[in-house]
């Protein structure tokens, strides 16, 4: 893409060559599908101050991606994430004053905000341990796939903290219901993959050997679909939480009218009329 093209598209930029420092970043050959792989398998992929900050910044910046259309979030070595690193995060937090603590909790919350606001659908592929902040990352994703061995725990109360962390008290009940969320957030117990699937937390269960392939397959179907329309769907799913029914319907009328003005809408009609598969271009 030329400098002129980038200027014309609002300073959009490719993320194919992004170099992650605190996790692995992989992009498909066509640039449409990215994978974030938490990569400290010897410790079950815990998060650190630096990895939190880089995830926040990356998800914020993906709003300006001209290539990446979907993101798969997963972990290395048979586990998703054990949450905040005990010695690199938890122990330092016990020695911080209130202003530092608040800066930290706001920063971690900003990760969730960035995940929800980035236009790309995020699909978490969860195997093994998915605990604490790791469970929050899965929760903040748009869809989640898991293995039968996945164990998901919002275990903040087990370390003397509230279950209200990074939006859990607001988001989790909307996914699995108030009573079930209350049970998990009060007790800190693990939610089995079968429970997670039955309750709607997980969209599907797959064998460990097939998990990432299935996540990529789902992500690819979205990346090759009407990407602009998918980003609009994600935006409305988030915005409509705080709307009344009249506002919801009016907002969706405006959103759908915008999508109808895209060339993808015309391409879909022309492909249907010609009895061929549409090739969406996100505009």
CA distance 253 to 232: 12
- What is the average pLDDT score of the chain? 93
Q: Angle at the Cα of 27 (from 26 to 28), degrees rounded to 5?
A: 130
Confidence of residue 9 (pLDDT cuts 50, 70, 90): low
Phi, psi of 126 (to 5 degrees): -110, 120
What is the model's pLDDT at position 213?
98
% residues pLDDT > 70 (the chain): 96
pLDDT digits (tens, 9 = 90+) for 200-236: 999 999 999 999 999 999 999 999 999 999 999 999 9
Sign of CA dihedral 249, 251, 257, 259: negative
Q: What CA–CA distance (Å, rounded) separates 267 from 82?
A: 45
2 vs 259, residue with greater confidence: 259
User: At 227, phi and psi to the nearest 5?
Assistant: -60, -40
| pTM recorded for the entire structure | 0.92
Alpha-carbon torsion angle 37, 41, 46, 50, nearest 10: -60
- Is domain 3-223 annotated with CATH 3.90.226.10? yes
């Amino acid at each position: 893409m030329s400098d002129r093209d980038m200027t014309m598209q609002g300073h959009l930029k490719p993320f194919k060559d992004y170099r992650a420092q605190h996790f692995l970043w992989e992009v498909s050959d066509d640039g449409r599908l990215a994978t974030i792989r938490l990569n400290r398998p010897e410790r079950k992929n815990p998060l650190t101050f630096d990895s939190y900050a880089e995830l926040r910044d990356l998800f914020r910046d993906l709003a300006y991606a001209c290539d990446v259309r979907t993101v798969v979030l997963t972990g290395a070595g048979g586990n998703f994430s054990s949450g905040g690193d005990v010695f690199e995060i938890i122990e330092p937090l016990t020695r911080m004053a209130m202003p530092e603590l608040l800066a930290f909790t706001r920063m971690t919350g900003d990760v969730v905000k960035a995940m929800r606001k980035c236009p790309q659908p995020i699909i978490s592929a969860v195997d093994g341990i998915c605990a604490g902040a790791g469970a929050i990352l899965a929760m903040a994703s748009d869809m989640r796939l898991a293995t039968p061995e996945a164990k998901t725990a919002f275990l903040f109360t087990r370390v003397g903290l509230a279950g209200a962390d990074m939006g859990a008290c607001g988001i989790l009940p909307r996914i699995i219901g108030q009573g079930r969320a209350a049970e998990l957030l009060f007790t800190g117990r693990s939610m089995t993959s079968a429970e997670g699937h039955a309750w709607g937390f997980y969209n599907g269960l797959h064998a460990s050997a097939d998990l990432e392939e299935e996540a990529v397959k789902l992500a690819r179907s979205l990346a090759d679909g009407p990407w602009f329309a998918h980003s609009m769907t994600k935006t409305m799913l988030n915005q409509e939480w705080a709307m009344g029914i009249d506002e919801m319907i009016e907002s969706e009328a405006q959103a759908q009218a915008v999508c109808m003005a895209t060339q993808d809408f015309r391409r879909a009609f022309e492909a249907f009329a010609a009895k061929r598969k549409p090739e969406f271009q996100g505009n």
